[in-house]
Amino acid sequence: MVGRSLMLHNSDLMAVDSPQSAAWLQLMQSANAESLSTADGIKLSGYKLLGWYPGDAGWLSCALQFAGTLLFNINTFHGMSPGLDWVQQDLHIWLQNMFGSIFFLASGYLAFVETCHRSWAWLPHLLSWRITFVNLLGCIFLWYLRYSPL
């Protein structure tokens, strides 16, 4: 019985390596949430590397976070390219940055929806709710800092 419901979170270890690795592992974990944990224990049959569950808020949150991290890295690569004119900067840096930020905002909200099991709920007694709520506030705050006319 000990360790029966244990879920390993390799993404926590990989976050030190790169945000893409962590986002990819979270996406894989959400795609395999049903097949990895059963009432009888853990089974590895039918393991999926990606999956496709656009109707599942948790999976969609992870997919958008993964896409956002990719856009931010492409954005950073282009930001180091010398000699870009203003049109290239807008297309290769700022547009990708904006879409990455939108993906992160949507990902934060969908993680909150997954935790609440509805579009909004006030459940501060739950640790998972507090974590996703603070994450969502952080997404909103960073969006505001990036795009507000200060």
**77, 62, 71, 81: which is closest to 24 by C-alpha?**
62
pLDDT the model gives residue 28? 78
Per-domain residue ranges of the chain: 10-147
Give the predicted TM-score (pTM) of the model. 0.73
Residues 130-140: pLDDT tens digits?
A: 999 999 999 99
pLDDT tens digits, 2-19: 434 444 444 444 444 566
Q: Three-state SS for 26?
A: helix
Q: How far apart are CA 124 and CA 147, in angstroms?
A: 29
40-85 pLDDT tens trace: 555 555 667 777 888 889 889 999 999 998 988 888 888 888 888 8
